[in-house]
């Protein structure tokens, strides 16, 4: 039996999606999985650059750099509407002045960083840091603004921050498409048969979680940055949807447009490879 290395983030959407798979509750065929590594998505992005894992969560931005090694699986993605990164600050800064400011991003290979580069193509000083440190850095004056992701979007207002730009809404307004945030990728070298089995197992795990959400909650809570049940549930509802079951044509089109625009901006390399597993 082939044992595959696996990595995903400790965020509620990923632990919800992978709960059944890592607990042996669904059929995985003749494949098995090593104990998963739960790490921040930017660390997973950097590991993929080093070809460390067989199956891994990736930002779509990172995926655009890795098509020679990895392909996108149809199941497990974070993609949708009204769920994009938010550019926030302590005060209402004018957008046309942001090129003179320091802006925190949750890693250079995150989709949040790619969206910010496309939204502000010139000038800003980008400061990389873990997503959960960005609001503190703004409060302390280390940076002037920051792009927040994950649970932070549910708590920034109560902490006194102002949203300068919803980057996901900007994307939707300019493209008409849902925003691709993150995907599950697997090594191309595994071959079509194994890739299909991996994809089917993740889809089965997603389906299990939708049918038995309460069963997943203790595992999700044990890894979440936020402990408030409502915040965790809001996170899952925002980032896990029908696109997480399968990207489908609309999801794939959105990813291809993101890659096209990223290449046109110079942020992503050109590639003629198929983006999806076949």
Q: How many CB atoms lie within 10 A of CB 45?
A: 25
Q: In what order do the strands lie in the sheet with 162-166?
A: 125-128, 102-105, 145-148, 86-89, 162-166
8 neighbors 18 (Cβ within 8 angstroms): yes
What is the separation of C-alpha 46 from the centre of its chain, rounded to a whole number of angstroms?
14
Strands (DSSP E) found in 107-161: 125-128, 145-148
Q: Where are the alpha helices (DSSP H) in 64-166?
A: 111-119, 134-139
Task: Output the six-digit token pair for 26.
Answer: 């669904």
Phi-psi region of 128 (alpha: psi -120 to 50; beta: other; left: phi over 0): beta
Active site positions, annotated: 150
Contact residues for 20 (Cβ-Cβ < 8 A; gap 6+): 26, 204, 205, 208, 209, 212, 216
Give the whole-angstrom CA distance, residue 118 versus residue 267.
9
Q: Where are the alpha helices (DSSP H) in 108-240?
A: 111-119, 134-139, 167-175, 192-211, 213-223, 229-239
């Amino acid at each position: 039996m082939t044992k595959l290395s696996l990595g995903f983030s400790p965020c509620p959407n990923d632990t919800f999606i992978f709960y059944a798979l890592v607990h042996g509750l669904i059929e995985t065929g003749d494949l098995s999985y090593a104990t998963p590594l739960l790490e921040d998505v930017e660390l997973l992005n950097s590991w993929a650059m080093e070809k460390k894992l067989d199956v891994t969560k990736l930002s779509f931005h990172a995926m655009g750099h890795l098509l020679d090694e990895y392909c996108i699986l149809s199941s497990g993605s974070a993609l949708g509407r009204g769920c994009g990164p938010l550019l926030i600050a302590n005060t209402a800064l004018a957008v046309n002045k942001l090129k003179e400011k320091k802006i925190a991003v949750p890693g250079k290979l995150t989709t949040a960083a790619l969206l910010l580069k496309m939204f502000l193509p010139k000038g800003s000083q980008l400061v990389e840091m873990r997503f959960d440190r960005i609001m503190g850095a703004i409060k302390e004056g280390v940076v002037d603004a920051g792009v927040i992701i994950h649970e932070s979007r549910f708590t920034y207002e109560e902490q006194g921050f102002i949203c300068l730009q919803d980057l996901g809404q900007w994307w939707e307004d300019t493209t008409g498409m849902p925003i691709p945030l993150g995907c599950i990728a697997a090594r191309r070298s595994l071959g079509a048969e194994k890739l299909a089995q991996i994809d089917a197992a993740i889809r089965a795990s997603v389906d299990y979680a939708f049918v038995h959400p309460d069963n997943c909650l203790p595992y999700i809570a044990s890894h979440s940055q936020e402990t408030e049940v409502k915040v965790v549930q809001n996170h899952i509802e925002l980032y896990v949807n029908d696109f997480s079951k399968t990207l489908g044509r609309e999801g794939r089109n959105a990813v291809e447009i993101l890659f096209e625009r990223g290449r046109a901006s110079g942020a992503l390399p050109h590639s003629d490879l198929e983006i999806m597993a076949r």
